[in-house]
Amino acid sequence: MPPLGHLHMEHVLQAVGVLEAVILRSFGPEGGQVLFTRDTGQAMLSRSGTRILTALHLEHPLARMVVECVWKHSSATGDGSKTFILLLASLLRLIHAAASKESNVSHSYSSTKAAEASTARHLADKLLAFGLKELDELIATGVVPYGGCISWEDFTVEAQTPSLTNNLCVQKLLRSFFHTRCGYTHCDFSSHLTCELLSHWKFKNQLPSFSLQLVSDYFPALHTPVSGFPVRSSRLIEGQVIHRDFATPPLKTDHQPVKAVVLTGSMQPTLLSTGDVILHFSSWMESSLQGIIAKLQTLGVCVLLSAVKQSAAVLALATQAEMCLVECVSEDELSLFSQLTTGSLALSVISKTGINAVLYVHVAFQDSEERITIKPYSLTEETAYRSIAIQPIQKCVLKPGCVLSAGGLFELLLHYALLQHGHSSSVSPDLNIDASVSQLLANALLSVPQKIYSHSPHHFLDLHCCREGDKLSKVSELDLGLESVSCKYQLLLAVLQCVASLLKVDAVLPTHTALHTQSRRLTRTSWEGTEDEGED
Amino acid sequence: MSRLSKKSPSVCTDMPLDNTDICSKLHLLKQILTSCFGPTGRLKQVHNNIGGHVVTTSASSVLLSSVSSSQPFINLIKTSILNHVSRFSDCGLFAAVLCLSLIEQIKKSALRESVAIRVNNYLLALCTSYLQREDCGCRVKLDFCSTQNLITLARSVISSKPACVLTEPETLHISKLAVQAFLLTVPCSSPGIVSFGRIVTVPVEGHSVLSSEVLPGLLVEMPDGLSEEDKPLNPLSVVLFSASLAGDISELGDGVIEAHPDVDTDSQILGQLLELGRQVINDEVKLFMCQKVIHPVLQQYLRSHGVIVVERLGIALMEPLTQLTGAQPVATLHTTIPPKTYGKARDLCIKHFGSKTMLHLFPLGESAICTMILCHRNQTMLNELKSKSEVPETASVLMCSQTEYLLGVELFCCALESAARALEHDGGSSLIDLTHAHRWMLPADAIKETMEESLGFCGCGLVQSSPSKKWTYLNTKYSDFCPSPVFKDTRVQPRVLDSFTAKLSALQVAVETANLALDVKYIIQDMN
């Protein structure tokens, strides 16, 4: 690195190349998982691009900038972070090649680097302008005719008639999502389970977005991780599972419905007021507790859900009053419980559910709306992805949008559309620059399906063929699921923006506050160390 | 400022399965676990470099949790197997050996990982559907009218752990006790959903294994100053406290306490406790028990009125005690004790086990609570025995939902074969017969001519050797054949039984873990 920290194309390429090397391992049908461990013993297993990138401790400012761009994009669309990096790397390489060719011809040797950088910058700006102006129209004419359409209405209708093809569409959309997140093995199973879960979460007089938001907000409370079982034993359970056992003997009465009370604090008064004799205080405290319990009893309450631990006296008194008490229930679960029971009073049946050795409290609700708790069993930490699964459905399904077979079809179709556009525009000489730009973008796009099919070239050929003739039929044989076109469009724009902003940076100024003076040299060596390791 | 340290870079491993270090570690782990597998498995001694307890074991739960690796890839596999063991407490070694052999075989075959994962899934689906078929030859229907199969199951589990150092009659004795204890926890007369009772295990060191026994009811620590003579009339009234009766004021919470010099708070509290004691004596309670500590003055007062006092029971005994006596725990000290919280016990007596003297409580009516006294000559063996004697309990509870068992490990397929082969450690070789596909063991010193005689019975004891049978060595090539079902002879009982549910889950967990391991392409270790 030069002392002033001048940035050249090579540095940008190098930084992005390191990220690409990590991402490639988990990309496409042959991709696997990345295992992260901390010294604290925490481990994370993931195929999700965003999680991998954000978990890396990056020192290089450019790499951090890229990760920030990816993060912004994926929080907006919930998908496409791995393709982002691949497209970015391939675009940068092509721009670099084009720029170095041009600058070699037209400039003297001494300023090659500077000329190269300015050509590259210029090219990136043109790419971005082209993307903002022409791309949506190109996609509309060149890609959308090959796709299908799904909307939330289709999805909700499907619950009554599961045989409809639209249900399959949503399931396929989820399938490709799970495929890129947790691998081939369980993607069918997980997408089916998620579909079933979502179709059971319906509220009367509420927008579909409300129930989707609720599921994604309360996912930790709705999800019971059970280790030690095969993934295939995951299933849905109707009602809510509270992840605690009863602190008192479980309910014996068969009277239904049951009234429950949610406690957020300790029932036992703890503050001594000055002047109290200790003995008087504790006897007053006990009698006040007895009063509370008796009052609850006259109200017909027989279940107490408490957010905190209650004293031994409370436990004993509740047992004697034949009430059952669940202690230390998490905030999330309590708020979900009250959310589900408002409007229809606290009417519920409570039983002890044994998920083999672990005992939980199971609440079944007695009203027309069905609520279901997802309860995936899992080997290790794998279940964590399911929480993020909700987001893309929200994005894609809520707005009626076009979907396309996954597996590089979008990139390929757009590649041809761009080439065609280039040919037609090159006829008129004033748009000549435009042609070279669309050519460059077309080549960059082609790198994505190339990476997907790097192990099976004949599938790549299949993909080429299917474009010509019978459109989707061939691709559906590959059965890779579906992906949203609008997400892809946003992805392309985000990549072009990122390229433009990356190339605008020409120097890194390492500033040091007094704090960092000592560690400065360390910073640089350790960063170079990471680079080397990444490239191995 | 010196505390501000630079974050160190992460350690990255690309394609962990191509890494020679990881591969050799996996191989080592496989060797360790393979040599522990089965009834003739070898023991391992685990001790760490900073001293401390030396563990002698061949059980996967103990072995895997005490061996730690710096390599996260190994830990991933380890955790997965341990999770299985924590649920089923059985078949951990089988799952681990199968999983590691699968990974090794796939590495050798140079098959692409994603293809291998699909193949594994397909074969697993084939195996599970075969095992779940009604006519599957590996399963034995369990007859609950006879305890024979239950004892066989318990014996397979206990005999698979050589660290217990048990002789043949001792193994049988413990197996019988385990089954007896299990049967005692099944409630006789409760309609509706059956909930099992509890087995409380009391380990006794320094006695012969054959003096172990199962007792109905519960054993609690012997209170001081009680002799054989003062036995109260039965049945006895029991009170059970869950709050401390030591006279402390710790549970009052935060606040300002003003102490007046002329008020003696201690004696006031003690007075309150003695008031409680007076009520208990008036209600003719004969056994006074407390989870925590009882004030010595109160203890003395109660004893002088002929009440037996037991303190410091601990939380673990509280639930069995409430089930046994029907008493409800009391935690209020200032109000009269409600009469319905009192419980009843039929009788009590004093029992001596070696150095231990304990109070034995009998239930008034039918109760599903029992105590298992486990004796062994030394502590290590006792620990191993204790951990293993709980297994048949879990296994029995599990199989009640599915009354079928799996015969010993007798499946085919390359990695499964190597798991089957791992059962032999004495230098002998494993054989498979070509009619029933059962596994046979050939001692190392046997000669070819006398093969029929030296084989005797197959591994599970269902098939007897005969000159018409053909054998082949496991892990060699042989032509495909369809194993024919064994002729059902009611006199021949299988000698080895495994729990079907545990085995099936172990098979699935092994394949899933192998698939997961094959799917890991990159490892990033944060060193901060």
Compare all CA atoms of chain B with the CA of A532 and give the residue at the minimum distance: B12
Structure tokens at B194: 């059956």
Of A43, A278, A317, the CB nearest to B72: A43
Q: What per-residue confidence (pLDDT) applies to A390?
A: 45
Name the pLDDT band for A284 (thresholds 50, 70, 90). Answer: confident
Q: Does B426 touch chain A (CB under 8 A)?
A: no
- What is each CA distance from A188 to A229, A257, B363, in whole angstroms? 18, 38, 54
Beta strand residue intervals within A328-381, DSSP E: 348-355, 358-365, 372-375, 377-378
Ranges assigned E (strand) in B91-138: none
Q: What is the pLDDT along chain B (528 residues), one digit of tens a residue?
A: 445 566 677 788 888 888 899 999 999 998 888 888 776 778 888 887 787 778 778 788 888 888 878 888 898 888 888 888 887 777 788 888 888 888 888 888 777 888 888 888 887 887 788 777 776 666 666 666 677 777 777 777 777 777 777 788 888 888 888 888 877 877 776 565 566 677 787 877 777 888 888 888 888 887 776 766 666 667 889 999 988 888 776 555 555 666 667 767 778 888 888 999 999 999 989 899 999 899 999 999 998 988 889 989 888 888 888 888 888 888 888 778 888 889 988 888 888 887 778 888 888 877 778 888 877 766 555 555 555 545 544 444 434 333 333 333 333 544 455 444 444 444 444 545 544 445 545 444 444 444 445 445 555 544 555 555 555 554 454 444 444 444 444 445 555 566 677 778 888 888 888 888 888 888 888 876
Question: Span A5-146+408-445+488-532: which CATH code?
Answer: 1.10.560.10
Is there a contact between B330 and A526 if contact means CB atoms under 8 Å apart?
no
A-facing residues of B in 251-270 (CB < 8 A) are 251-258, 263, 265, 268-269
Q: Alpha-carbon distance A281 to A285, whole Å?
A: 6
Tell me whether A290 touches chain B (CB under 8 Å). yes
What does the pLDDT look like over A180-209, one tens digit per residue? Answer: 666 666 777 777 777 777 777 766 666 666
> How many CB atoms are located within 10 Å of the residue B136 CB?
15
For A59, the closest chain B residue by CA position comes to B9
3-state class of A335 per DSSP? Answer: helix
Classify residue B231 by its DSSP letter.
P
Q: What is the DSSP string of A454-504?
A: TT-HHHHHHHHHHHHSSTHHHHHHH---EEEHHHHHHHHHHHHHHHHHHHH
Which residue in B31, B49, B320 sits closest to B199, CA to CA? B320
Show residues of chain A in contact with B17, CB under 8 Å: none
Rounded to whole angstroms, the Cα distance separating A492 from A86 reads 11
User: Could you tell me which chain B residue has the CA closest to the CA of A32?
Assistant: B519
Q: How far is CA B446 from CA B40, B429, B453, B470, in A?
A: 18, 10, 9, 17
C-alpha dihedral over A460, A465, A470, A473, to 10 degrees? -20
Bridge-based pairing of strands A372-375 and A377-378 is unpaired
**Chain B residue with Cα closest to A358:** B87
Give yes or no for B322 touching A (CB within 8 A).
yes
pTM here is 0.75
Three-state SS annotation for B24-66: HHHHHHHHHHHHHCCCCCCCEEECCCCCCCCEEECCHHHHHHH
**CATH class name, domain A240-360:** alpha beta
A366 in B contact zone (CB under 8 Å): no
Residues in CB range of A429: below 8 A, 6 or more apart: none
Q: Is the ipTM of this complex over 0.85?
A: no
Out of B112, B257, B329, closest to residue A455 by CB:
B112
SS3 B17: helix
Q: Which residues of B touch A322 (CB under 8 A)?
A: none
Identify the residue among B1, B7, B10 best suited for mutation to test binding to A, counting A beta carbons within 10 A and taking the highest.
Answer: B10
A205 Cβ contact list (under 8 Å, min separation 6): none
CB B328 within 8 A of CB B341: yes
Residue among B333, B508, B518 whose CB faces A230 most closely = B508
What are the residue ranges spanned by the domains of chain A? 5-146+408-445+488-532, 240-360
| B145 vs B186: CA distance, rounded Å | 14
For A518, the token pair is: 């000592």
Q: Report the amino acid identity of residue A479.
A: D
